[in-house]
Structure 1
Amino acid sequence: MVMEESRTMPSKRQHNTDGRIARGERTRDAIVEAHTDLLREGVLKPTGKLIADRAGISVRTLWANFKDLEALLQATTAYWDTADLELRVTVEPSLPLDERIDAFCSQRAARLEHIAPAARSAVLGEPFSAALQKSRQTHVDRLRSEIEVLFASEIAKGGDELKYALVTATSWPNWQIMRDDYGLEPGQIIAIMRRTLHALLD
């Protein structure tokens, strides 16, 4: 009986391997957290040293966990993509139009404000990074799909022109212009977004 139990017990080598894997995951999580925190603080293009210092590791450890900047950006954009999905709340398409517009605009504002630090940073590196390009396309496709479902009955009458007008009106570039160039507060932008959608959909 003792021999049978010993066969099921993990070996010392397995313990060591599992420990290394867990430590590696914690280190990578710390690096991604440091990167995202710096973006939130307005450091749009943090250096490897700055990220490593914030994570409490050496630059060598940083690049041992992520072979290059593109690998780090893949992990960071995955974090932002997941966080955006967690903020998503399904709006019932059968609701009256006014209620759909209000719910969609409020939710959209919260998600755009949340992802703003990453989006501002991505502008600087997107032409040179497949990870950033893929992330942007993911968000564009996600927005278009949500609009197609939520305003399906109206789009069926208005066609693709209406659909793309809705996508443009609620996109990150449009939000950024009003937020950064015009200096408007989120509440003001929500009011503009609602007015625009009513004009397009009513």
Structure 2
Amino acid sequence: MKIIGFPVDVSRSQDGRIVRGLRTRKALIQATLDLIQAGDVEPTSAAIATIAGVSSRALFQHFTSLADLYAAAFDLAVSRAFDGNRPIDAAAPLASRIELLVADRAQLFEEWLPVWHFAERVRSVAPAVGSGVVQLRRLLRERLAGWFEAELSNLDAGAHDLVLDSLDLAFGLDSWMNMREQLRLSPVHASRTWRFTAQAIVLQALTAPHQPVAAA
């Protein structure tokens, strides 16, 4: 999956200024994403304007600051990569769901690495990107809860939260980043490691009886 294209249809507008404005905005956001995908973790206004084929002045006519443009690019990237409404086959066997989860997230997170580096770099100068990261983490956690709803629903409240926290830790973006960049595993090796973790630990956590968790 490439982060390309743009989900705004201006073909029916009769106002030439609106059409040109939206196209310029589209070009600026797309240029930002193109630079991010190419490894630029903090694209400059000059670089973005050059790739978009517009002047730096035009950039700041559409975005009051680079932070606003960064936030728009991040939001668009999230909307394309992470579909919160994607259906989950909760009736599938647990082993099948684990396999699908590993395959899905390995591919997704590998493609997302450049955007993640960008988000980590600019979140201090673009607070909206930092907020977007928090929302993305929440979305990924909610997806995990839905993925394993059948098993989690059988646990008491304490065990439910403990297991979901463990799943979130094991299958979050940080886990993939650690395997790829700290351990320097290949995408294939990292996927196998995830699968082993799921089969050896997660499967047991979701099927074994749990004792009530004492309050901290």
Q: TM-score, normalised by structure 2?
A: 0.80
Alignment check: 8 A CA contact 1:91 1:104 kept: no
Alignment partner, residue 164 of structure 1:
165
* 1:200 maps to amino acid: V
Per mean C-alpha deviation after superposition, the further-off stretch among 87-96 and 156-165 is 87-96
The ranges of structure 1 where at least 4 consecutive aligned residues each deviate by more than 6 angstroms after the TM superposition are none
* 1:197 maps to amino acid: A
2:27 pairs with 1:30: yes
Alignment partner, residue 200 of structure 1:
202
Structure 2 CA distance for aligned equivalents of residues 40 and 88 of structure 1 = 25
Structure 1 CA distance for aligned equivalents of residues 96 and 21 of structure 2 = 47
Q: Which among 60, 75, 79 is matched to residue 78 of structure 1?
A: 75
Alignment partner, residue 189 of structure 2:
188
More helix by share: 1
How far did residue 43 of structure 1 move? 1.1
- 1:77-136 deviation per Cα after TM superposition (whole angstroms, max 9, x unaligned): 121111113598533111111100001111111221222111111111213322111211
Structure 2 CA distance for aligned equivalents of residues 184 and 123 of structure 1 = 21
Alignment partner, residue 56 of structure 1:
53
SS of residue matched to 1:118: helix
Q: TM-score, normalised by structure 1?
A: 0.86
Alignment partner, residue 93 of structure 1:
90
Alignment partner, residue 209 of structure 2:
none
Structure 2 CA distance for aligned equivalents of residues 72 and 88 of structure 1 = 26
SS of residue matched to 2:184: coil
In our comparison, the structure showing a higher alpha carbon Rg is 1
Structure 1 CA distance for aligned equivalents of residues 35 and 129 of structure 2 = 17
What are structure 1's unaligned runs of at least 5 residues? 1-13
Report the aligned-residue RMSD: 1.9
Alignment check: 8 A CA contact 1:154 1:201 kept: no
Distance 1:176 1:133, change over 3 A: same
Q: Which among 110, 135, 139 is matched to residue 113 of structure 1?
A: 110
Distance 1:40 1:87, change over 3 A: farther
What are structure 2's unaligned runs of at least 5 residues? 1-12, 205-216
Distance 1:193 1:163, change over 3 A: same
How far did residue 166 of structure 1 move? 0.5
Alignment check: 8 A CA contact 1:34 1:54 kept: yes
Alignment partner, residue 177 of structure 1:
178
Alignment check: 8 A CA contact 1:91 1:150 kept: yes
* 2:130 maps to amino acid: Q
- 1:62-83 deviation per Cα after TM superposition (whole angstroms, max 9, x unaligned): 1111111221022101211111
